[in-house]
Amino acid sequence: MAEVTREHLVKTLENIALLLELKGENPFKTRAYRNGAEIVQNFDGDIVTRATKNDLKDIKGFGDALQQKLYELASTGSLAYHENLRAEFPETLFELFEIQGLGPKKIKTVYDQLEVDSVASLKKACEDGKVASLKGFGAKTAEKILGAIANREKFANRFRLGDVGPLAETLLERLKDHPKVSRAAIAGSYRRSKETLHDLDFLVATTEPSELTSFFAQMPEAEEIIVQGSTKTTIRLENGLQCDLRAVSNEHFPFALQYFTGSKEHNVALRSLALKQGLSLNEYDFTGDGEMPEVHEEGDIYRALGLLFIPPELRENRGEIEASDQGKLPDLIKKENLRGTFHNHTTASDGNNSLLEMAEAAHDLGLEYLGIADHSKASFQANGLNELRLREQISEIRALNEQFDDFALIAGSEVDILKDGSLDFDDDLLQELDYCVASVHNSFTLDEDTMTKRIIRAMENEHVTMLGHVTGRLLLKRDPYAVNIEKIIACASETRTVIELNCSPYRLDMDWRWWKKAREKNVLCSINPDAHRIEQLQSLSYGVRLARKGWLRRNDVLNTKSLKEVQAWLALPKSER
């Protein structure tokens, strides 16, 4: 049997959850498999070995049935329960789950009534008017589905940073462990922390390049070997992601790392600077007349050109070379600078864990505080809280905080910004909260001017602490709604409203391209995971990466403050913060 990987376990459990949804099974049963997939994905240890040994009893969230299924899957490479479920449906049906706005119930309807079993057949059924004629659909729904299909085609062969991260780090560690590798790194857009990427670029320093290219081609995750040579191998993984490996000498490694990290625009500017100094820079070396600079590490390349080392996240030719030359590069935020975070959900709305479970998970991560922000009543689809339930939650948070010594929950709400810019709760209730994050969750199709005015009206409320996921985008699924970000930043500066960097891998919103401008306007950022379960608190690491890409420093981010500092800050009138 082929080697079983963590990704194989995750994918199987997620497939089971989708199939159970299609069959209309008990939602608690479906959720158990989806939760199991997340636990496997984020488990800090060799989950495959433990599953093979049937040693999963002490892992929270795994019931007896799930433990047995993981044992069967890990030890045999297949799971009879999964295979039997799959046999009930055509393989192409899974494509439909990639279409934004098309859930299991609608998929079941078009499958049962129109025999739609693929994206191609769904597109034809929409164009023929058959989908619009179905009860519960209509012409607008069919139009939205066609738009979502177009988006899928537009985003084909791209992957979200957060989805790729765990797999990328697994492959990198495997390369680092190879006895013939002296140095290894991931270059390309992954190293630069781009929010989406097309492929992964691995680089190793070795004296046996052909041995490494062969080793890489035989990775268990490889679905297809595209190219295999003596110094380069390209494979395609099971999920369609292309991965390139380049094997170079230890001497050439710093140059290759700099070159293949990019961006292209950054490298062009850097080579131009080198030429002005009588040097030629490529992926192998410096060349030119006279004595060449001594280079052992990537930073030596920048120093040789009279520059400070430029962090990979900044290498987009957006002023970083000039800032380096002038000694004005920012001291970028680090993950260890975070002391807490805001905007997290519990079982009170659409989360999967209780207040106490979320608090314990945050404390285990070393955080001093966790801001709770369950949905407000207008988000009925997310079981939003009404006034009574929110007040009950505030009381529960206050009671729990009496039990903590070095940690606190911060009582908040993710309050819907209604279509006219008013808020879902009145000021009397908002005043009872420690903080409020205001977000748009509906009426996405407003024109730019109307949407901008809508959000600005909400930000002008003295009780709105921060603005959530400012553009509403879902990476590779839904485009941002129309909004004037410059005006939003200007309003945030004037009203002292924090703008969230929502670090859910699906959002990473506000976009990194705007954070430098926000920083220059003295707008604070809050790096928030929008966690709906404890595992999603780990997304904070992606938030830090995108904050760095946006030129943010420690003092630009609200949640680098200590618990006492943030409590004192929240206690101030908004105008004095």
The pLDDT of residue 1 is 54
Q: Are 250 and 182 in contact (CB under 8 A)?
A: yes
Provide the pLDDT for residue 86.
87
Q: Which of 163, 23, 19 is nearest to 79 (CA)?
A: 19
pLDDT at 300: 97
494 burial (CB, 10 Å; 0-12 / 13-18 / 19+) is middle
The burial of 488, by beta-carbon neighbours within 10 Å (0-12 exposed, 13-18 middle, 19 or more buried), is given as buried
Can you tell me the distance from the alpha carbon of 291 to that of 440, in angstroms, rounded to the nearest whole number? Answer: 60
User: What one-letter code names the amino acid at 2?
Assistant: A
- pLDDT (tens place) for every residue of the chain, 577 residues total: 556 888 789 889 988 988 888 888 888 888 889 888 888 887 877 888 899 988 888 888 888 889 999 999 999 988 999 999 988 888 888 888 888 778 878 888 998 899 999 999 999 999 999 999 998 899 989 998 998 888 888 777 899 999 999 999 999 999 999 999 999 999 999 999 999 999 999 999 999 999 999 999 999 999 899 999 999 999 999 888 999 999 999 999 999 999 999 999 999 999 999 999 999 999 999 998 878 999 999 999 999 999 999 999 999 999 999 999 999 999 999 999 999 999 999 999 999 899 999 999 999 999 999 999 999 999 998 999 999 999 999 999 999 999 999 999 999 999 999 999 999 999 999 999 999 999 999 999 999 999 999 999 999 999 999 999 999 999 998 889 999 999 999 999 999 999 999 999 999 999 999 999 999 999 999 999 999 999 999 999 999 999 999 999 999 999 999 999 999 999 999 999 9
What is the predicted pLDDT for the residue at 60? 83
Look up the pTM and report it: 0.82
- Tokens linked to 282: 């490529």
pLDDT attached to residue 2: 57
Residue 218 CB partners (closer than 8 Å, separation 6+):
none
Quickly tell me which residue has 């009426």 as its tokens. 443
Cα–Cα distance between 234 and 213 in angstroms, integer?
9
Domains of the chain: 6-86 (1.10.150.110), 91-154 (1.10.150.20), 159-250 (3.30.460.10), 260-325 (3.30.210.10), 335-576 (3.20.20.140)
> Please, is 435 exposed, middle or buried when counting C-beta atoms within 10 Å of its C-beta (0-12, 13-18, 19+)?
buried
What is the separation of C-alpha 54 from the centre of its chain, rounded to a whole number of angstroms?
Answer: 31
| Structural contact between residues 508 and 549, judged by C-beta atoms closer than 8 angstroms | no
